[in-house]
Each structure stands twice: as structure tokens, then as C-alpha cells.
Structure 1
Amino acid sequence: MQAGESDRKELFDRGWRFSLGNLENAHQAVYDDSSWRLLNLPHDWSVEPLKEQIPGETIGPFSKKSPGGAATGQTLGGEGWYRKTFVISPEDAGKRHELYFEGIYNQSEIWVNGRKAHRNVYGYSTFRFDITPYCNPAGQENVIVVRVINEGKNSRWYTGSGIYRHVWMIRTAPSHIDDWGTFITTNRIADNQADVSLTATVVNGNDSATDFEVRIELVSPTGKTVSKATQSTKVASRDTLEIPFHLQVKKPRLWSTETPDLYTSRISLWKDGTRLDEVAIPFGIRTISFSVENGFELNGVKTKLKGGCVHHDNGLLGSAAFDRAEERKVEILKKNGYNAVRGSHNPMSESFMSACDRLGMLVIDEAFDQWRGKKNPQDYHLYFDEWSAKDIRALVLRDRNRPSVIMWSIGNEIRERITDEGRETAGYLKNEILKYDRTRPVTAGVNKHWDKDRKNMLPLDNAFHHLDVAGYNYMWRFYEEDHAKYPQRIIFGSESVATEASHNWDMVEKHPYVIGDFIWTAMDYLGESGIGNSLEVDPEENVHQFMSWPWFNGWCGDIDLLGVKKPQSYYRDVLWHERKISMAVEVPVAEGKIRKVSFWGWPEERLSWTFPGMENRRLKVNVYTRAPKVRLYLNNVLVEEKIVNEQYKASFEVPYQEGTLKAVEVDDNKEGASTVLATAGEATGLRVTADKTRLSADGQDLSYVWIELVDKKGNVVYDSQRKIQIASEGDGACIIASGTASPNDMASFQSLTPTLFNGRAMVIIRSDYHPGKMRLTVASDGIKTSAINLNTK
């Protein structure tokens, strides 16, 4: 959550009871839940191994009875119940108590002391509500009960199930600041000064009109107060009032992707010299603009969007939105050259959005994957008319103060997009956004295919009519043609595939009206199983869009499920000028077989020159560079020099020999940057490393532990299918997830005995609420056991 001081809000994740199944009377205040599982949020039950493991039917969390099948990663939903007790302290008597849920998938009902207090239907929407009328007097126990339903076919990808994002308890005086009613914008930056507008909303909880004083304090990234303002106002009884402020910040530190400096707005409410409430809202001082002539500009600087689409799950963790998991996701994207993400196709977690603010990642904030036209029988189309305005409001009010957000997206590949009804619906959604924010453009991801009636999906005039910026899914071939027809249209590739990356990015670099490109996807995700497949098959064999059991992840990402760069990401580095040259080797197919690559796929390449048993067989080596020519050396002997094609690729056929393969870019007969692949030796050990070995005793911290099979020189042995055993002892932390990046090895997902994939596996450790020491050990037959120590403080 963005706002508030520590005495105003409390993280409410600890100490929930949980039970899976259809239960009678579990919503009542008096109910025996002592046999229920005790857990701490965030929690996703769909990623947990099923209690009953039936040979041939279930493996870990996967089941052949999954209603969503390949689309939802062969996982199950169902019905789950959560219960938590709390007591209002004497100090908090008389205060307003509000529950704030960042996300529950999917439909949810909430009771307080046996009385229904709220209902929500959109699994990605943040919602909040006042529970004060339902609470018992101070000192008496209160019971919160949450029923979660995730049934039927309601999604095209893995969703997870349960209270998978944070829960907060917000305590305020009856008269307080509405944090979602605060809106901060940068009007102008000139002459080394920023003009900042701020609207604060005061809630008067009194039965009579009341005089208040509102104080504003803007605090710099270094903690220095840089601007102040105060206003006195009278608010009518039981009413709210918006109060505008105009402030100046001298020598502002501008928020950008390179310098994501955040200011803090402290807004306090006073009466008769007593402070009633205070919130602290982070914001960035920055300007954005969009035009056909200059494209997208951030603080007046032309900026091309190096973008990726991302789903909301966190790999081995399922959909559980731990702060560290979401932050790590953004760190990985930044490290790999991305400066923008598109939340696909729903509101992302607040933890993810806050990480984008802190780390400097631009965001297209997307609302929906469907409107009234269904994509699945039980999806959001059932609730669109009743709930869409509420969910748009929640999204925009939650995120409108974030400097990372540059566009609002109202939908993706909407069924009714070309119809008059679709045009009217787009206008309705845009107007709902404009009620709360007029500082950002509205967009959507529009495609001409995907539907069964794709031949009738042109023209797309209705789909684009209300969009300020046009998102094109897989339509780079139309950019120039459409620009000639609609010269004022600003375009970006809202989705594209890796095999067409050079075409897409060439368009971005060539035309100012094409402001960026977003790959499907930046990272692998659960569900849409195997859409990125690259299969060795008979020449006459057909390959389907989705892969059947045992495939469970999309396998179309630049980065795999653990966070490792895949070969296509090294190619993208070259396109984005992040790397001068990269090289990969295609895995050979058996005699009589061919390789078929799906639309979202990439040829099966390895970042390795280790192919035992392939001696003297000719292997295809692909080199990627923007240089005009490439020389390839094997063991310091020139193999060949080749001209690089228009896709920045040169391919070689090289008889396999152990040793070192070196590719060197050549320009004007001069050698430049190079890259090397070396043959790995025999596996001699397991390398165990962690991104952190000291964890905070807050029950929320995570440590990501890498397990890599290496030779004596420390090279990862990619081709090994070695099984390992993972164990732990001690306290202060526990293993919450483990597995590999394999898209189809179900037995190694959520397993303490995984089979290594590309020489790697991972363990994720969660801290407890008390200090302790934990030792993690990793063993494998014939290799010395390795270990790592972790401390929780």
C-alpha cells in the first residue's frame, strides 16, 4: 500500500487459519477452526502439491482434472476459507477500522463477526471497506472470515487461488485524510523549478460541520523538506472535500528510468492544534508527452520503450506476491535492458508497481482481458456491466500517483473490438479513467487475429477510435501502411514474438511515431502451456498451439522461470544495443526429424559448446551482431567469415570438437568485440549461492538460492540430467518453494528432489517472525555435498 505511517496501517498477513473445501457455517463467528492449517499470507493454494497423489493422474500441484487444462498450467482451483481473529486495543477504541485487500483470486466474500461485510469478484482488483460497524467493542475478540471461490474455466493463463497479495488493517480517526483521494501531478518543469499540484481529500466523520487545517510537506529523496503549504477549511457534516494545493520545488531531482528519485508528500489533518491523521505518499517529479513527431518523451527526452509483457505469477511461488519476489522480477528486467513493462492482462500487485517506482521501470497499467465478450465460460464477462467501473476506479486511484505509470490500458485482444458496441464500451472505459486522471493517455492491445473469425477483423477503426496511443499486437507489418492512412496515430507494439524481434525493433528505430515494442513475454510464466515450444518432430507432424500434459509453463519468455537469460534474450541485447555480439548453438535433431518452432517460440539453442557424443557432427552456430561481418574460430583456427544478414544474424555449420568457440565481429576488415563458448568438463561439484544470506525476521523476506552443477573450472554443465536432494535444518526460516525452469518436468516443480534443468535448480527460503539460523544442504550421488548457511535477524 502506498500511504500512511506505521501507526496508521498494519500488515495483516500473519496468523490466518486456512481450509480447502466446501464448508458449512464456516463464516460464523463461533466456529471450531483449530484443525485448520495455520499460515501467513501471501498464499496461493493452487501451487501447493496436492494431498492425494494418484499415479498417472497427479504430480505435485498438477492434475489431469484441471478445468483450465493447459491454459491454466494443469492446476486446480476450488473453494478455500480463511479465518483470523483480532482485538481492538483501548488506544484504538473509537477509531475507524478499514480492511484493505490487495488481491484475492477469484470471487471472495468477507464476514466480520458473522456478518457479511463485503464481496469482490475480480481477482486482480484491490478493494477496501470500513469494518467499524461490524466490530466488537475494544478488548473483545473479532473474527474475520474470507471465502474464496476459483472454479470453472475463468482464465487463459495461471491465476493462482486464495489471498495471494497483502492484507492491511487501516486505523484512522473518524475524520481523516482519504489517501486514495490524494492526487499529485507535475504541471511544469522550467528554470530549475517544478510546479507541483496536489489535491488532498478530507473526510469529516463528525455529525456537524467542522473546521480543519490541512498541512502539506514535500520531502526530497534525501529526507529534506523542500516545500510546505497549509490551508484551513470547513467540511460539512459526514462529508468529504477536495482541497487543491500548488507548490514549487526548486532544483528538483527528476524521476527517470536512470534516476528513479522519489519524493514523499506528507499530508496531515489538524483540528485545534491536534493532529488527527497523517499519510505519506511517494511520488516522482517528471513529465511525459506523446506525439507523432517526437514519439514518447520523458522529461523532454525522447525515449523508446524497450518493453516486455509480464504475467503476475512468480514462478515457483505461484501467484504469491511477496515484496522481494516482485522486486526481484523488476531487477531482472532492468538488468536485461528493459525500461518498460506491460501488465498482462490485469492490474499487477502493489509490490510490483512500487518496485517499478523505486527502480525506474515504465509501466503500461492494464485493466482487463475481456469486456462483455467472453473468452472462457466463467471469466470476467459475467461481471463486466456491474463491476467494471468499480474496478477501473480502484486501479486508477491506487496507481495514479506512481511516476512509473505512463499509460492506462483498457483491454487486450477484446472480442468485440471492431463492433459499434466495442467502440462504445471503449469510450465508456476511457471516460471512467478520465474521472480520476487526465494526465496519461489511454491505450489497449489490439490484434487482427486470434479469434476464429479473424478474417472478418479488419478494418480496426472502431478498435482504435478512442485510444490516445494505439497498441498493435503482432502487427508490425501494418505500421507504415496505417501511418499513411492515419498520420496522427501514435503506435507501439503491444505484443510481438521473438522470431520477429528485428523487424519490430527496426520499425521502432526508424519511425518516431512508433514509440516502442513489447515482447510476448519478457519472462516465462505458468499456464498457456508450451506456446513457445520448439519440437523435434517428423516432417509431416503437426504442432499445436498449446502443449498437453506434462507441459505447464508458457516457455515463450526471454527469461526463464528461475530468472536465467534464454538465448533469445542475448539476441535482443544486440537489437537494443546492450551487447555487441552474442552466440548460441542449435541443438541438433535426430536423423529423419526436423524442428518446428511455434509462433511464440524460438529455435532450441544452447549457450554452450558442450555436446558429448556429437564429435564431428556439423552443428549450427548462430551469431548475432550489428557488425557487417563475423569471423568464427574453433580452438583458435578460423572456421569461416560470413556476412551478417538483415536480421543481424550469421549462421555457421561447424563440425563439433571439444574446446573453445569464438565469434568476432568484423568491420572494415578489423576485428572488434567477441564472445566465447567453451566445452564444459565433467561435473565435479554443486555450487550453492544465495542472493542474500541474512534475512529480516518479518515473516516476509526471501532468499533465492541457486544450485548449479559445475566442472572444476566453475563452468555450468548444461547437459546433465542429474537428480539432487535438498534438505534443511535449523529455524528462523523455511523452504517455501524449489524446482527448476523446465516447462514440462512436473516432478521437479515444488520438489526437494528435482532433476537439474540446464544444470540448474533453485530453492526459495522465507524468513520467520523470529531470529534463527538455517543450514541448507544439497547432495547428489557421486558428488560432494554442498551447503549454505542463512541467518534471520
Structure 2
Amino acid sequence: MKKASKLEPYSEELKNMRVKEYLNDDWQFHTGELKAPFKTAKKAHALGGLTAALPAENEHRILPSAGGVHFLKLIAQGNVEMGLRNLAGTDLTSRLDSSWQMVTLPHDWKVAQHFVNNPANLMSGSKEDGVGYYRRVFELPAELFKSHRVVLHFDGVMRMADIWLNGAYLAHNNSGYTSIDLDITEMANYGDEGPNVLLVRTDTTTGPEGWWYEGAGIYRSVWLEQVPYVSLNEKSLYVYTKSLDESSADLGIECAVENHTDNPQVVQPIVEINEEKISLEKVTIPAHEQHVYHANYSLKDPMLWTPETPNLYTARFKLTDDLVQKEFGVHTFKYNENGFYLNGNRYELHGVCEHQDFGGVGVALNQDIVSYKVSQMKRMGVNAWRSAHHFASEELLTACDHLGMLVINENRLLESTPWRVNDLEKMVMASRMHASIGFWSVANEELIGNTALGERVAKKLVQTIKKCDYEHLVMSAELLNPEGTVDEDYLKNFDVLGVNYPEAGVMGAGAELIKQNHPHLPMMSTENASYFSTRGVYKDDAEKCQCNNFGSMYSMVLPGKRKAGDPGVGGTAHPETVMDYFRQHSYMGGVFLWTAFDYYGEPSPFEWPGIGSQFGICDNCGFPKDYYYYYQAHWTSDDMIHVMPAWNRDALELDSDGKVAVRAFSNAQYAELFVNGISYGRKALNDCEVNWRVPYADGELKVCADNGGAVVAADCRHTSDIAKKVNVSSVYSGVQDTLYEISAVDQNGYLVESSNDTVDLSIQGGTIIGTGNGNPANIETPVLNQVRLFNGRALVIVRRVDPQVELTANY
């Protein structure tokens, strides 16, 4: 049995301060249902079994008083252990069997499951729902209770969660997208009282929250916070921009101080911003009450936060025995009938929508993987991110703060049930100070939107948001009808009306009518495109669930292969249609492309063996598809050009004359195409795009870009031979993890885009935590010592253990 981990006592310098300790290591995990512990017991802390210390972990299950021992002996003929069994069933488990394994958080237990051909699970990723148990044993210092409260935080558990601690039922949580915060000060064990035993039951069998892959388990971090009895209320801390002018920013400051002692306490918080100290009022707080402070501060010559210049300030909130530091940005937001304004300037939103999973790890993303996803979109020119359709994680908001990305933080459902309202308020309070927050979305495509019921619910949710937040805009993402019928009272709740797919005929017709009837109504594109494509594929193949990057002939709404112009062919709208729509409707603020990355589940336009979506601009491992470069050409200024397709005959559709389509994307004025050095014409780009039809010939496909003079950018594709070698290259290295691209090359070093071979992996100085390849029909159960390439590439995620890490890959 693994010994309980200990949280070390404080250093002398920090012994009275707030301390956070992550509990991400040393978890015991069991997949499948057990004889579930009771939630109630006849005596306090007497549930026993897996909820309390096992014999190998501690001598006693609980520590009864002398009177308690006497009572147990009376009811069980002198046998204390038998008395416990009679009361609470502590004999249910005396040890962990071999089905338990050690895991590290974040952890998505569905990743290791087999894919299953079950139509009921097609939309959610073709993995079966179930139950998983997590168990963690830890010790707390003996003197901790005298100086600190102990708060247990779960950043995210998917989906239904039941939590026990030390033989008592602690909490239930309904949603996988909200944090769980539990004060365990009184019920924790300290020092010689024995270890603390935490048991978490996760259950996805009671129905999903979304229609996409949601994962399962404790998929975000768990941590203990040790907080002084007189402390800052961290969720109350808030610095926000009230107004801006050319030389200063008027900031509002809020904070609350809590007194958890039995005596009145005199406090005077200090807030430090930009090396200036703001002393708040000295007050006496009665026992077990709190005081809320409000203050103003004028920041001279502020450095404003924008996605292009993500300048961050740090606010230090200080008490005698407490310190909390929070970053914030200085900015203002406005939306009117002409579009979006950031810091008083018209600003185009180049946005993406995104779920939260990633290849190889499911939904168990740490800060490094999230930061990689955001940075990959930044390179494309993206400046806005919609967390669809759920609350954004702390990791996502932190990445967007630092890398520069405005966020739409989205509520899960248009419901005003008490627990939903509580979750919404918790989300707003936790994330409102992040510099990246620009919008709150109360819902997505709700059936009751624009109804009287929807109006009442929306009003409650908007009131909840605006009670907590004073600077960001509130919206809802709506699907419209062709007649443009809306509920006037419903619309009044929002700062801006979000419209999904206005570029598509049905929704667009409704949006046009709404604008005609409400010319001063702020309107915003909140979801666009949904364009099918499979990385490295240039002809449709339904059997393999693959879509042509030039435009698929399969439809979202009609069965089988269709003809051009049929409803839903190629997706909701082609990228060119989206960009053309925005040019003609700039008042819509910009675009939010569905989606940044492919995701597990929702495998439209195919069914099994499709297990993942194909809407992404990148595949689910982060490898760009061709249209990544179309958007990059529109949204970035560095000279670039990209040519498609791959240049192997078997991958292409040739016409009767042996010709093939060639397309290039560039932000230059002109592009010239060469096949084996022979020019096929220099053309002006239109909408950052240019097309040719040329005879196919093995060799080199090359395109050069210019602005009327010298070549400013070039791109090549080569006909490859059979794969001879596997290259390993780092694509991102974070604090913990490094992401590697594995690629097949031939004897000339050319990428073999037809390679779907299996590669053996070995690692020194680290641990492989995930592998993937971006194939939307990859139904192989992942293993960590091998990965199959898809169209020449695969991804391996390594958690570094030593400073020097070596990953090798061989056939």
C-alpha cells in the first residue's frame, strides 16, 4: 500500500500565509462500479470502507472517544471492529485489489477505453459511459488547524461527482464544467489523528451535458488551499476598468475580508498596483463575518491590453497574514449597430469556437497543452476564442490572457434552476478579472430562445452576471428562422445579439430581416463555416470517412454524395462564403469559425467508423489543414503562401485530360505556379486565393508569391517515394510537457503523406502521456509505446521527468 503523501509544514516566512498544494499525483483509480459507499450513516464519520483509512494505511478507521469505544464494545460483545461493522458496514473493503491502478491528474478515463460501434454513442465519441472511482490519501500537519482553514478544490470532474472524506459523505456536483470548492477544516484529520482519505465517484451514465465528446473522470487539477482564519475572500477580489482617456485609466477595486475567528478583528487591506500602494479603510470585523471594500484608483499612462499587445498588470491584495496576487488588463468594450469596439477603436473579431478535448488525452489538458492550442491559433491570426458550449477553464483563460485572445465565456444552458444559477455566478466571479474576458454568453442555440419563458430565464441569468461583473458584454448565440421572428423583450436582455451561421441561406435571411427591422440593434456573428475537411485528403472517401480539402460533396443534412449547391454540401458554408459575408456585413463584428480543432464525437457527415468531427481548421492533434493558411493569409501580415494539394497521383482526382486542381493561399498580390520548373502562369490573388488546373506530373509543385517585384514567399510539395525514416521534432515545449511531431520521410527527406504505418516509440527522461494522429476514423485503442501515422504524421505528448529528454521513433 502506498504511504499517504504529506503536506510539508510552512517555512517560517510563510507559516501564517495562504498556501496552495496540488494533489495531482498518487491517485488510486478503479474503472467500473463498486458496491457504492453509503451517503448516510448511523454515526458520524463511520461510513468506513473505501471512504476511510484501510488497515494498511492506518491502525484505526476512525478515532472514537473513550465513551465511543465503550459503546462499540457494548453493542458487539467487546469487539470494537465488529461494532463499527454493525454501524456502518466498514467491512465492505479492507484492501484495494489489483483492479486499482495509480494515475496522475488531469485524467480522462475514457481515453483508454475501446471505441464501440453503438449508434447511441456516435455523437459523444463512440465510447461507453460508465463509473470510475478515485481515491487519494494525504496527511496534514498537526498544528495546521490552529492557524488555517483547509479548502479542497476540484477544478473539474466529469460528470456527476460524489465525494467522501474520512468516512463521511461530503458533496455532490451535477456539472462537469464547474469547479467544486469544499471547506474541510473541521472534518480533516491532523497529525496523529491519522491520514485523510478522499474518495470520488465519477458517473457519466446519467445523461450527457453536451452532444460532443465530454470525457470522464477528474480531468482537471485538484488542490488544497490552506487559508488564514482572517483572510481575503479570493473570489471577491476584482480590479476593473471604469473608464479610459488618453492619459489615465479609472479603475474600480473590490475586495472582501473574512473573519473566521471567534473574536472581532481589526484589519486594513493594502492593494498594490504598478508599485503604488492603496490603503483601504481600517475596520473592525465582527466574529464570523466579512467586510466588503470598494475603492477607486487612477492609473497614469496605462499600457492597454489587446490581443496584439497583451499587457498585464498585477494587483497584490495584502493583509497581515494573507497575500493574493491577481493579474488583470486595462481595456474597455463597446458594441453598437456598427460592430465591436476595443478601447474605443473599431476592432474586427477573427474568432474560433472550440470544445476542450485534444488528441491522445481526451479532455485531460494541462496548461501546456491548452497553451499550445491557443498559440497554434495565434499563428493563424486568431484574436478571439469562444468556449463552446461551456465555461472556460482556468488554463484556457490564463493562456488567452498571456498570449492575447479575447474570450467569449459561455454558460452551459438557458436554465435558471438554483444550481445552474449558482454555477453561473461561480463562473463569473472566478473568471471576471481575467484580461482575456470580453463577453459572457448565456446560452447557445436554445429551443426556448426568443420565447416568453426564454425571456424570463435570460433576464435572471443576465441579472446574475451583471450583479458580479461591471465591464464585459452579455450576449446569447442564437439560431434564427428565415422570417427573422424574434421576441422583443428577449432581445432587450443582451448587449448584443449573437447569430450563428448568418452566412448560411436560412439563418442569413432571418438576420437580414432583423437588421432591417432593428437597424440600431447590435448584432454579432458567433458561429461560422462548419466546413468539412480531412488533413492531407484531396478526394472524398466515405468508407474511410475522409473529406476533400477542396470541398466535400457530402452534406450535413442529406444522405450520400451530393452535387454542388445541394443543402449542407461541404458543411454549413465554405470559408470563402464566410469571409465574403463579413466583408458585406461588417456590423456583425467578425467571425467565429466552427471549430479551431477537430474534436471527438459529432462525426458529421459520416457515421461509424467515424469517431470525430472534421470541422476543425486543424486536426485534433493540432496539425493544420489547408484552409488554416487561407485564414492566415487574411489575418496576418508576414509574407506567406501555401499550396495544395499533396503531389502524389494516388491522392488526387484527375480529370479526363490528366489535369488536377491546384490552389494557393497568400497575403501577397500575385502568385506563380511551377511544376518541375515549368511555369503555369502568374496570377493575381482574389480573396487571398488563386486557382489553376494543370497536367499532373511526378516531381515538384512550387508556388512563388510576389507584390510586383521579388519573390517574398514560396511553398513546395513533392512526389514522395516509400518511407525510409521517421523524423521526430518538437512542436511545443511547456513547463511540464513537450509535444512532438512524428513524420515519415523518404530517401530524399520528402514528407510521405501517404504513410499510415505504425511507429514504435521509446522514451528516456520522460513519460509518454498521449498519442494521436488526427484520423477522424481512428478506432484503434491507443497504446503509449506505439503510434500509427495518418497521412504521414502523428503526435506524441511527453511529460518530462529529467532535464534531458530523448524520444525515438522507428519502424
Tell me which interval the TM-score lies in, with the shorter structure as reference length.
Answer: 0.7 to 0.9
SS at 2:267 equivalent: strand
Partner of 1:623: 664
Q: 1:250 is matched with which residue: 296, 300, 306?
A: 300
Tell me if the contact between 1:316 and 1:750 (Cα under 8 Å) persists in the aligned partners.
no
Partner of 1:291: 336
Aligned equivalents of 1:465 and 1:299: distance in 2? Answer: 24
Letter in 1 for 2:131: E
Partner of 1:150: 204
Partner of 1:790: none
Partner of 2:461: 429
CA-to-aligned-CA distance 1:531-559 (integer Å, 9 cap, x gap)? 2xxxxxxxxxxxxx4x2222111111001
| Higher strand proportion (structure 1 or 2) | 1
Tell me if the contact between 1:227 and 1:249 (Cα under 8 Å) persists in the aligned partners.
no
Partner of 1:281: 326
SS at 1:231 equivalent: coil
Q: 1:20 is matched with which residue: 1, 24, 31?
A: 31
Correspondence 1:575 to 2:628: no
Partner of 1:413: 445
Correspondence 1:119 to 2:163: no
Q: How far 1:250 moved relative to its partner?
A: 2.6
Tell me if the contact between 2:730 and 2:738 (Cα under 8 Å) persists in the aligned partners.
yes
Q: How far 1:673 moved relative to its partner?
A: 5.5
Letter in 2 for 1:103: G
SS at 1:522 equivalent: coil
**CA gap 1:655/1:6 in 2 versus in 1, 3 angstroms:** farther
CA-to-aligned-CA distance 1:726-752 (integer Å, 9 cap, x gap)? 233x4x521111121111122274464
Letter in 2 for 1:344: A
SS at 2:110 equivalent: helix
Correspondence 1:655 to 2:687: no
Gaps of 5+ in 1: 51-60, 270-274, 373-383, 450-454, 532-544, 586-605, 781-793
Aligned residues: 690
SS at 1:676 equivalent: strand
Correspondence 1:97 to 2:150: yes
CA RMSD of aligned residues (A): 2.8
Partner of 1:542: none
Tell me if the contact between 1:229 and 1:247 (Cα under 8 Å) persists in the aligned partners.
no
Which one has a bigger Cα radius of gyration?
Answer: 2
Q: How far 1:321 moved relative to its partner?
A: 2.3
Aligned equivalents of 1:480 and 1:456: distance in 2? Answer: 9
Correspondence 1:705 to 2:745: no
**CA gap 1:627/1:93 in 2 versus in 1, 3 angstroms:** closer
Partner of 2:766: 733
Tell me if the contact between 1:166 and 1:321 (Cα under 8 Å) persists in the aligned partners.
no
Q: 2:502 is matched with which residue: 475, 481, 487?
A: 475
SS at 2:468 equivalent: coil
Aligned equivalents of 2:224 and 2:661: distance in 1? Answer: 59
Q: How far 1:507 moved relative to its partner?
A: 4.1
CA-to-aligned-CA distance 1:141-198 (integer Å, 9 cap, x gap)? 1111111111154130001101100111111122211000111112233353322221
Tell me if the contact between 1:226 and 1:249 (Cα under 8 Å) persists in the aligned partners.
no
Q: 1:165 is matched with which residue: 220, 229, 240?
A: 220
Correspondence 1:327 to 2:371: yes
Letter in 1 for 2:579: W
Correspondence 1:777 to 2:805: no
Partner of 1:676: 715
Q: 1:235 is matched with which residue: 279, 285, 288?
A: 285
Tell me if the contact between 1:192 and 1:252 (Cα under 8 Å) persists in the aligned partners.
yes
Tell me if the contact between 1:639 and 1:654 (Cα under 8 Å) persists in the aligned partners.
yes
Superposition map of 1:752-771 within 5 A: 752-768=785-801, 771=802
Partner of 2:595: 521
SS at 2:788 equivalent: coil
Partner of 2:542: none
Q: How far 1:226 moved relative to its partner?
A: 3.5
Q: How far 1:473 moved relative to its partner?
A: 0.6
SS at 2:123 equivalent: helix
Partner of 1:29: 52
**CA gap 1:612/1:392 in 2 versus in 1, 3 angstroms:** closer
Tell me if the contact between 1:213 and 1:230 (Cα under 8 Å) persists in the aligned partners.
yes
Partner of 1:346: 390
Name the stretch that deviates more: 428-437 or 510-519: 510-519
Q: How far 1:80 moved relative to its partner?
A: 1.2
CA-to-aligned-CA distance 1:24-78 (integer Å, 9 cap, x gap)? 2355314445432122211110111x3xxxxxxxxxx31234x852211111231
What is the aligned-residue identity percentage? Answer: 28
Aligned equivalents of 2:161 and 2:445: distance in 1? Answer: 27
Partner of 1:210: 265
Q: 1:386 is matched with which residue: 393, 405, 418?
A: 418
Q: 1:551 is matched with which residue: 603, 610, 615?
A: 610
Tell me if the contact between 1:193 and 1:251 (Cα under 8 Å) persists in the aligned partners.
yes
The alignment's TM-score, normalised by the length of structure 2, stands at 0.80
Correspondence 1:371 to 2:414: yes
Name the stretch that deviates more: 84-93 or 409-418: 84-93
Tell me if the contact between 1:77 and 1:160 (Cα under 8 Å) persists in the aligned partners.
no
Partner of 2:729: 689
Aligned equivalents of 1:685 and 1:137: distance in 2? Answer: 57
Partner of 1:496: 528
Tell me if the contact between 1:662 and 1:674 (Cα under 8 Å) persists in the aligned partners.
no
Q: How far 1:720 moved relative to its partner?
A: 2.1
Aligned equivalents of 2:478 and 2:608: distance in 1? Answer: 31
**CA gap 1:657/1:748 in 2 versus in 1, 3 angstroms:** farther
**CA gap 1:581/1:297 in 2 versus in 1, 3 angstroms:** same
Tell me if the contact between 1:581 and 1:623 (Cα under 8 Å) persists in the aligned partners.
no
Tell me if the contact between 1:507 and 1:514 (Cα under 8 Å) persists in the aligned partners.
no
Q: How far 1:358 moved relative to its partner?
A: 1.1
SS at 1:111 equivalent: strand
Gaps of 5+ in 2: 1-13, 38-48, 55-93, 532-572
Aligned equivalents of 2:129 and 2:394: distance in 1? Answer: 23
SS at 2:698 equivalent: coil
Q: How far 1:431 moved relative to its partner?
A: 0.9
Q: How far 1:706 moved relative to its partner?
A: 1.4
Correspondence 1:186 to 2:221: no
Aligned equivalents of 2:635 and 2:618: distance in 1? Answer: 16
Aligned equivalents of 2:472 and 2:666: distance in 1? Answer: 37
Aligned equivalents of 1:510 and 1:761: distance in 2? Answer: 40
Aligned equivalents of 1:91 and 1:198: distance in 2? Answer: 35
Letter in 1 for 2:25: R
**CA gap 1:624/1:462 in 2 versus in 1, 3 angstroms:** farther
Partner of 2:647: 609
Q: How far 1:680 moved relative to its partner?
A: 3.6
Aligned equivalents of 1:503 and 1:514: distance in 2? Answer: 15
Tell me if the contact between 2:253 and 2:295 (Cα under 8 Å) persists in the aligned partners.
yes
Q: How far 1:408 moved relative to its partner?
A: 0.2
Name the stretch that deviates more: 30-39 or 669-678: 669-678
Tell me if the contact between 1:422 and 1:462 (Cα under 8 Å) persists in the aligned partners.
no
Aligned equivalents of 1:22 and 1:360: distance in 2? Answer: 43
Partner of 1:560: 619
SS at 1:747 equivalent: coil
SS at 1:71 equivalent: coil
Q: How far 1:659 moved relative to its partner?
A: 2.8
Name the stretch that deviates more: 508-517 or 149-158: 508-517
Correspondence 1:45 to 2:109: yes
Correspondence 1:306 to 2:350: yes
Q: 1:85 is matched with which residue: 128, 132, 137?
A: 137
The alignment's TM-score, normalised by the length of structure 1, stands at 0.81
Aligned equivalents of 1:68 and 1:303: distance in 2? Answer: 43
